[in-house]
Chain A
């Protein structure tokens, strides 16, 4: 095996906490407009959860569920989603105009302040960036680990 993973202790710990790490990444992105955090930090935490699984269980366990190509598709989807939010601003009159806030009405924006459903397109953009950054970094890590398994082959032969 190229990447056999780590010991049973690491595997069990990773099994217990990976879900919470991923959930925390999503939480930090979803409440980015209410508390410190945001899509970028959440995406990196989400990718770090994937990296933990790769390091603990080996690469093949992850690539059975999520290949690099799939990561790239999610990466592009997040980027296009962010761009779509930008282009939908033309509904309200211009590039990156916060069209949900315009639909809600200028005087009713502060009604939902400090609630999860507030800020118009800001939480949507955070979620798009979460998907984009998480998939991009996890895909880059998977590509790097795959590359090493290819490059280490000639060294193992002699």
Chain B
């Protein structure tokens, strides 16, 4: 019970951090607020019993934070100064969320989806049992890997992992190509282009 309240508090912290990141004029401050959001997500992963995901989340968050701070610090301040219509954006986002929740509730009551918070692969009232229970029962016996997460990632679903690795490869390839292309035109002082490349 205590853990659930803690998770709710952390989610509130994430929402506040995201709002600060959007509203802050200073780019460095908003990057740090974004980092707080990521670390809160890592703690939530840990509390929910997903240490693999928590390790990856924290580590990637640190790396991305270093990268973003380095990108932000040495460039000139081009933060927007025109006023933003925060209230209108908030109302639109709230309406969109309520609409999605209503659609989800309708689908659940019509019997097309499992109830809220129910794992799909575990099966349920409306869904036949999936492969999840089979993985949990047989992972150590069939793959010999004691960590079931890795058994699924690199044995049962290794094809998915290959696709993921291909995505990272293509992203890094794109980074190289983009930076070389802009780096050649070094005679033109670029104001907005390095920011684009850093993302």
User: Which A residues are within 8 Å of any B CB, using their own CB?
Assistant: 28, 32-38, 40-41, 44-45, 47-48, 51, 55, 68, 72, 75-76, 79, 82-83, 86, 95-96, 98, 101, 104, 109-110, 112-114, 118-122, 125-126, 129, 132-133, 136-137, 139-141, 143-148, 150-155
Contacts and interface: CB of A to CB of B under 8 A. Distances in A.
Contacts of A32: 147, 150
A82 B52 contact: no
Interface in B146-199: 146-147, 149-151, 153-155, 158-159, 161-162, 165-166, 168-169, 172, 175-176, 179, 182-183, 186-190, 193-194, 197-198
A33 B147 contact: yes
A151 B141 CA distance: 56
Contact of A118 (B60, B146, B161, B179): B146
B20 interface: no
Most buried by B among A34, A143, A148, A151: A151
Contacts of A132: 165, 168-169
B70 interface: yes
A57 to B, nearest CB: 15
Given A44-B56, A150-B183, A122 B169 contact: no
Given A36-B51, A75-B172, A126-B150, A120 B165 contact: no
Nearest to B61: A44
A33 B71 CA distance: 35
Contacts of B169: 75-76, 79, 132, 136
Interface of B: 51-52, 54-56, 59-60, 62-63, 66-67, 70-71, 74, 140-147, 149-151, 153-155, 158-159, 161-162, 165-166, 168-169, 172, 175-176, 179, 182-183, 186-190, 193-194, 197-198
Nearest to A37: B55
Given A79-B165, A143-B175, A110 B52 contact: no
Given A82-B165, A122-B150, 9 more contacts: A33-B150, A51-B66, A55-B66, A95-B159, A98-B155, A122-B145, A132-B169, A143-B175, A151-B186
A37 B197 contact: no
Contact of A113 (B54, B63, B146, B193): B146
Contacts of B66: 48, 51, 55
Contacts of B56: 38, 40-41, 44
B165 A129 contact: yes
A109 B70 CA distance: 48
Given A38-B52, A45-B59, A96-B158, A143 B146 contact: no
